[in-house]
Structure formats: C-alpha cells, structure tokens
Amino acid sequence: MKAIRHFFELVALTALAVAATTASAQFVKGNEAVKVMPDGTKKVETPPLPATGPIRTAKPCIASEGCHGGAWLMVETTDGLVECTEAYARLGTCRKSSYGTTKFLRLWVVRNNGKWLQCQLPDISSKCVDMFARPPSNLPFPAVQ
C-alpha cells in the first residue's frame, strides 16, 4: 500500500514539474520578451522602434509583397512564432513561421538581460548582437535554417 502511495506522489510531482515547465515555455529558452501568466495567457514584448532615424518614417516592407531580400527575423508574438521583415513586428511585416519546413536565412529576435538581441540560432548562447548598438557592433550573423 505504501508503494502505491509513493507511486501516486511521484506521478503528482511529475505533473507539477511538467506544468511548471509549460508555464515558462517559449521558443527561445531565456527570451525575457515572452512571459506566460498564471492564467495561461501569454504576455509578449517586441522591440521598440528607435527614437530617431529613417525607420520612423519609412513605409514598412509588408511580408506578403515580396519586397524583402534579407534574413527573416524570427519574432515571438501573441500569435506565436512569426517570421518578419523587421525586428519590430509592425502590422503587416510578419507572416506565419515556416521554420522547420522551409530553409531561409534567419535571425532570432530575443530579449536577454534587458537588451534586445539578434541571435544566429534559436539559442541565446549562439552568436548574438545588441540590436541598438552602434555599427559595426550591431551587424548580425544570419544562418540558413
């Protein structure tokens, strides 16, 4: 009888561990931009537009219009993982992710230690650069994936 009780305790602890893992699950482990709230809703931040510069007045490159020629920026949003023509994920600049089915040049937009980064892989320990650093320090390392 005691063995059965221990078995059920182990099952309960395993379920709690899985639930805790699910509560903090995200595509890029350590991405501070994604938070799963206790009620199961997801709170997501995207990088802010720079205070000055041409991005403030430039017309966004709409993802479905074929105007994009560089690496796709993988951004986590409230709609899930999307691929965007820009890191700021403005309206129309993103489309449903094809990651895992189609190979493209990609960069991963994540927030870590309060900084917005563009990472080579969906891993914060890969080559990452601060998005808001001055050139050439902000030049990313895209990879086909």
DSSP string, 72-134: EEEEEETTEEEEESSTT--TTSEEE--TTTS--EEEEEEEETTEEEEESSSSTTSSEEETTSP
Structure tokens given for 91: 């309206």
* Residues of the chain with confidence (pLDDT) below 50: 1-25
Per-residue pLDDT, 21: 34
Per-residue pLDDT, 26: 52
Per-residue pLDDT, 51: 87
pTM of the model: 0.78
Per-residue pLDDT, 55: 87
CA separation for the pair 28, 115 (Å, rounded): 15
Per-residue pLDDT, 5: 43
